[in-house]
Amino acid sequence: MASKGKSGAENAPQPLSNKVIGTSNRHSSEREISMSSFLGYLAPNIYAGTASITQLYTNVNDTNWLMVYKCNRCLIFDDPSQTAFNISTSNGQFEQGWAQSTEPPNDPENANSDIAQHNNGMGEFKVEVASATQASYSIWASMTATATSVSGTAGPTATFSSNPVPTSTYDYVVIGGGAGGIPLADKLSESGKSVLLVEKGVASSARWGGTIRPPSGWLDGTNMTWFDVPGECNRMWTGGAADTSCTGCAAACTDIDQMAGCVLGGGTAVNSGLWWNSHPEDWDYNF
């Protein structure tokens, strides 16, 4: 396992909802593990059921970490806030899942901290009950823990400011001011329709106030940002070509359950439709 970031083990097959999720992250020189549950593809809640986790062995170094833990009642989902669920072993097999992220929780000391969606792999695997059963389990399970599980406390409730909700009426509302939304809103407005264009992200192009540039400085002094350079379309998902030092400069959303852009485009950008000029027939006649 990587020395930073977080890993999660799902004690049931898909979907995520109504499942016990054990999430582990590194804090200081130790690993901490907490239990969460999902209502859906949303940020998880602290699990309120009867399951419990005991760490039996933990080893952490600068590049990797290893954790062995015992999970009691983790195949029984009895969080009172959700529908009860039980993983049956009578069929001789069942599924479990895993996910990993290179990004740690916002607050590694807090079990209720916000986490970003996994970005370093995910998967499901089958557990064969017969081959997974060990005659010496009771001896193993009674071992003394070499690390203590740290349970977090709920953090303060975040407060948000918002702009007043518009009371005007519009012929069209376009969601997303990216490479698809802006031209669509422009063409509708050009035809005489009233249009409200809603955008979540910050300004992308320099002409509209965008400031996200490579930290190496090769765009400094120009009226250009990463998003004004067609050859740098990978800026959507990474720090840019051969430049990974620009932390936080990627444009991809991290707070939704699907691939989308939050600075330049969403459904358009993920299909690499960034700043390519359309054919005149499509733009002037077929639109």
Q: What is the pTM of this model?
A: 0.43
Q: Using 50, 70 and 90 to split pLDDT, how confident is the model at 185? A: very high
Q: How far apart are CA 199 and CA 192, in angstroms?
A: 21
The CATH architecture annotation of domain 6-141 reads Sandwich (2.60)
Q: Which of 264, 143, 246, 287 is nearest to 199 (CA)?
A: 264
Q: How far apart are CA 213 and CA 216, in angstroms?
A: 9
User: How many CA atoms are closer than 13 Å to the CA of 144, on its beta-carbon side?
Assistant: 1
Identity of residue 175: I
Asked if 171 and 194 touch (Cβ cutoff 8 Å), the reply is yes
**Tens digits of per-residue pLDDT, 92-123?**
888 877 777 777 777 777 766 777 777 777 77
The pLDDT value recorded for residue 229 is: 80
Asked if 181 and 197 touch (Cβ cutoff 8 Å), the reply is yes
**Tens digits of per-residue pLDDT, 31-76?**
555 666 655 556 677 778 888 888 788 777 777 777 788 888 888 8
Identity of residue 252: A
Residue 225: exposure state from Cβ atoms within 10 A (0-12, 13-18, ≥19):
buried
Task: Name the token pair of 236.
Answer: 């959507």
Q: How many residues does the chain have?
A: 287
* Greatest alpha-carbon span in the chain: 77
CA gyration radius, the chain? 24
The ranges of the chain annotated as CATH 2.60.40.1210 are 6-141
